Amino acid sequence: MNWESAIKDFRQYLRLERSLAKNSIDAYLHDVDKLRQHAFCTHAKDPDAIVTQDIRDFLEWIYSLGMSPHSQARVLSGIKTFYHYLALESVVAHNPAALIEAPRLGRKLPDTLSIVEIDALIGAIDLSSPEGPRNRAMLEVLYSCGLRVSELIDLKISNLFLDIEFIRVTGKGNKERLIPIGHSAIKHLQLYLQHDRKEVKAGMEDYVFLNRRGAPLSRVMVFIIIKDLAAKIGLQKTISPHTFRHSFATHLIEGGADLRAVQDMLGHESISTTEIYTHLDRDYLRSVMIECHPRA
């Protein structure tokens, strides 16, 4: 099998069987294409002729280009998935990347906002402006529910169950989940929907958060809104919509929430992804001990 056919079939597998989003599929294909380029530059092997040593040579090559350990690990993960698929299809007898270990990575803890900082950001919104009530409702929902930015901009009115204090979102892999929503978020969401959401483009009636032309907000616009608010209050941290998600999870863990419950609310497939927030909590506890314990 040549590279073109293998990559085309792999794309279909990721889209239909794995139900991955377009960005995720593009990332996998980009990683595999790097291996294809290396194969053509060195020995022009087809994908079914690649062996473990070829992949080790490829990893040494991307390391020599200055690629970071995190990026190397991501590329290797994509190649392992590619050859796992080829093995499933009996194109190769076994996965030549299966036993190759990724570079050791230091775990980077995500940036978070304190409750005071979140209050300051939300308090900086000018509610007298046309977009102010929308922005207030948007940030309240983002923090109250720990949404990804893609989940926020795709949120539908038909998926709001405010009478029972839940919303339904579609996350990665088109997986749906129900998330509790707090009273403050409900209040500002209802105010926005009932009084301030006026211009609605045809066919966009079910989207919650709309721009001034009545179309759904873009990811970029959500980033810009948050960056502008951070500048307005003089916040020195580099933040994004995802910072609100990290803060949501961190504050729940610090408050004693069950890790499995947080995993369900975040929509993490693996509990190990959620466990990073326990590291944040331990750092907080350690700082309290150092500050308050007489023998610390």
Separation CA 159–CA 154 (nearest Å) = 10
Q: Is 295 a catalytic residue?
A: no
With beta carbons less than 8 A apart as the criterion, state whether 256 and 118 touch: no
User: For this structure, is 18 an active site residue?
Assistant: no
* Catalytically annotated residue among 36, 38, 245, 251: 245
Please pick, among 45, 74, 242, 279, the residue that the annotation labels catalytic: 242
The verdict on whether 107 is a catalytic residue reads no
- What are the angstrom distances between the C-alpha of 37 and each of 32, 47, 85, 115? 9, 11, 20, 48
Q: What is the 3-state secondary structure (H, E, C) of the chain?
A: CCHHHHHHHHHHHHHHHCCCCHHHHHHHHHHHHHHHHHHHHHCCCCHHHCCHHHHHHHHHHHHHCCCCHHHHHHHHHHHHHHHHHHHHCCCCCCCCCCCCCCCCCCCCCCCCCCHHHHHHHHHCCCCCCCCHHHHHHHHHHHHHHCCCHHHHHCCEHHHEECCCCEEEEECHHHCEEEEECCHHHHHHHHHHHHHHCCCCCCCCCCECCECCCCCECCHHHHHHHHHHHHHHCCCCCCCCHHHHHHHHHHHHHHCCCCHHHHHHHHCCCCHHHHCHHHHHHHHHHHHHHHHHCCCC
Please confirm, yes or no, whether 13 is among the known catalytic residues.
Answer: no
User: Of 80, 148, 188, 246, which one is the catalytic site residue?
Assistant: 148
The amino acid sitting at 231 is: A
**Residue of 15, 168, 187, 268 marked active site:** 268
Nearest to 245 by CA among 141, 138, 146, 111: 146
Set 172, 177, 227, 279: catalytic member: 172
Q: Verify whether residue 245 is a known catalytic residue.
A: yes
Indicate which residues carry an active-site annotation: 148, 172, 242, 245, 268, 277
